[in-house]
Chains A and B, each alone.
Chain A
Amino acid sequence: MKQDKLIKAILMAVALSAIGGLGLITLFIFKEGLPIILQIGVADFFCSTDWSPGEQRFGILSMIVGSVAVTLGAMAIGVVFSLGLAIVLTQFCPPKVAGVLKPLIELLAGIPSVVYGFIGMVTIIPLIREYVGGPGFSVLAASIVLGIMVLPTVTSISIDALNAVPRSFWEGSVALGATRWQTTHMLLLKAARSGILAAIILGMGRAIGETMAVIMVTGNSLEIPRAITDPVRTLTSNIALEMNYATGQHRKALFATGVTLFIIIMALNTLAMAVSRRRVAGGGNR
């Protein structure tokens, strides 16, 4: 019995490492990044578009706009496909076919982001340059690449949400004479609404946090984009591009970019948790 207590204590200590790691990350990122935000001034740091490390001027507005633009674009493409896939896999697909399709979609999640970026660079960018205009490296290219990259996340969480709707809902609707599609879009999608919303929010987190693929297809210009064919730079690519040679204030400003990213991601995570908690409270059987 004494041994069991000891084992329990050890396991508990180890189990706390996840939250401990999160604490350390928060502490160190803020310790490095927060002072310079306060030194520059919150308003100047977040609302200025002038990022000139050489002259010690650090404003990240254009990157915030860039990150938001590519994320929204990615969601516009990714959500439609993800929902379509989730509906097909849960409602219109024989289980055997679903058993083959699901691992394939999971495989999409396994492909390295550098490979996505590269494929985007050699196939999508020439197409955009040729047929849509602009330099090719653009918000549009990043949206397409990220749209594909968030697909596995959004699809699999949406599938869980759709599967969590009690079977009796479906049976009741079909018994009333509704077709399967009527049942799906009038009933199941509404019943699974909060789960799907959580999936979309987590997908946004994925998109906004993606780095390598984005660097390779956005062109990384520091201008605020005026059209979807304009190049942009995101918060993540700003860090990855300049961290290797940054020193002093410049490096601190990159950590401050990381702080911004961290806060955005935490807000999205919390939102997703709040939304999916409502689903459990609402009685979806999991």
Chain B
Amino acid sequence: MKLAPTAPLPPVPASERRNAARRIRLMPSPTVTERIVVALLWAMAAITIAVLVFIIGYILLHGLPHVTWSFLTESPRRMGREGGVLPMIVGTVLVTGLAVLIAAPIGVATAVYLTEYTAEGRLTAVIRFGADCLAGIPSIVFGLFGFVFFAITLGLGLSILSGALTLALMVLPTIIRTSEEAIRAVPYAYREASFGLGSTRWQTTLYVVLRSALPGISTGVVLSVGRSISETAAVMLTAGSALGLPDSLFDSSRTLALHFYYLAQENISEANAYATAAVLVMAILAINLFAYWLMRRFIARGGHHA
């Protein structure tokens, strides 16, 4: 192959050459730039961690002194100016527990279907699309939906049940995704060994796959508990804000997060607001530590980090 003769390059003007030379001289060497940039990046990481420590420290420092035994075991008086948060603790546990009890079986079953029972196709794409979209919907929109669908159309009213059903729908995508990842991390050889021993697909799924994926799945479930506890906007519109102890699942009940919002936003009681926030933050810390510990155990058993 013959190359066409290249035209000679036009001469570079002297001024431009001088400018280029000056620019290069002024430029710090790549190693110096790297040092500066890395220092800046680490500073950003340090600021982020500092913000985290500040938020948690600030709440605990101001709140823990007010968290007494009677605060945890009494009902609020005068709209929360006095008294404790027992009904809110009960309400939070009921709404959150019920939401996760509803969402976990559905989420895990969905993950099992997606990974063990079907090949990737149009149907899995539709299911995944649904889960992805649900994950992005703002909690206030879930609240509007729960209000008009569960509370009004189904006639459940502003109640623990309405709140729990709404939250269940909200945490469903998280449970599906984490379960799917945990199931996919189970080595294929396990399934082959199980099939080789003559098990059916369902036996293999139940006794081999789900058993191995259990810590990973639990991590997702525990994180969903945390998300439900933190949720405020959706429960405000679906579980209502009654201050008393609920008698049944059809009663309205105020959760801790919502109670804290009212105490802080309406300036009802600073001490009780801080104390409620401290209870909330302690719960979140405990849940995250537990999830972290579960994940560690999962990795130690040979699973991959999600």
Contacts and interface: CB of A to CB of B under 8 A. Distances in A.
Given A106-B288, A181-B38, A209 B137 contact: yes
A8 B149 contact: no
B74 interface: no
B208 to A, nearest CB: 15
Interface in A232-246: 236, 239-240, 243-244
B162 to A, nearest CB: 13
Contact of A212 (B45, B132, B232): B232
A199 B189 CA distance: 34
Contact of A265 (B48, B110, B138, B280): B138
A12 B113 contact: yes
A8 B143 CA distance: 33
Interface residues of A, number: 79
A17 interface: yes
Interface string A72-107: 000000001100110111001000000001011111
Contact of A112 (B30, B40, B232): B232
Interface of A: 3-4, 7-8, 10-12, 14-22, 24-25, 28-29, 32, 80-81, 84-85, 87-89, 92, 101, 103-108, 110-119, 121, 123, 148, 151, 178-182, 202, 205, 208-212, 215-216, 236, 239-240, 243-244, 254-255, 258, 261-262, 265-266, 268-269, 273
B114 interface: yes
Contact of B230 (A22, A112, A123, A261): A112
Given A181-B34, A212-B233, A11 B113 contact: yes
Contacts of B71: none
A14 B136 contact: no
Contacts of B277: 114-115, 118
Given A14-B110, A85-B45, A269-B133, A111 B233 contact: no
A209 B202 contact: no
A74 to B, nearest CB: 14
Nearest to A184: B37
Interface string B241-278: 00000000000000001101100110000000100010
Q: Which of the listed residues A178, A240, A244 has the most CB atoms from chain B within 10 Å of its own CB?
A: A240
Nearest to B51: A148
29 contacts: A4-B201, A8-B113, A8-B118, A11-B109, A12-B123, A18-B131, A22-B130, A22-B137, A81-B47, A89-B45, A101-B49, A106-B288, A107-B284, A111-B56, A111-B230, A111-B281, A112-B284, A115-B277, A119-B59, A179-B30, A209-B137, A210-B138, A211-B139, A211-B232, A212-B232, A216-B261, A262-B137, A269-B132, A269-B136
Given A108-B48, A151-B48, A216-B264, 19 more contacts: A21-B169, A22-B134, A28-B149, A81-B47, A81-B48, A84-B45, A85-B48, A88-B42, A108-B52, A113-B232, A114-B264, A181-B30, A181-B38, A212-B261, A216-B265, A236-B140, A254-B144, A261-B141, A268-B136
Contacts of B202: 3-4, 7
Q: Which of the listed residues B137, B229, B264 has the most CB atoms from chain A within 10 Å of its own CB?
A: B137
B106 interface: yes
A121 B61 CA distance: 17
B280 A25 contact: no
A153 to B, nearest CB: 10
Contacts of A85: 44-45, 48
B141 A22 contact: no
Interface of B: 30-31, 33-34, 37-38, 40-42, 44-45, 47-49, 51-52, 55-56, 58-59, 105-106, 109-110, 112-114, 117-118, 123, 126-127, 129-134, 136-145, 147-149, 153, 169, 172-173, 176, 200-202, 223, 226-227, 229-233, 236-237, 257-258, 260-261, 264-265, 273, 277, 280-281, 284-285, 287-288, 292
A215 B176 CA distance: 31
8 smallest beta-carbon distances between A and B, as pairs: A209-B138, A19-B130, A112-B230, A84-B44, A11-B113, A15-B113, A211-B233, A18-B130
Contacts of A108: 48, 51-52
Main secondary structure of the interface of A (DSSP, over half): helix
A251 to B, nearest CB: 9
Contact of A25 (B141, B201, B232): B141
B127 A15 contact: yes
Contacts of A104: 49, 52
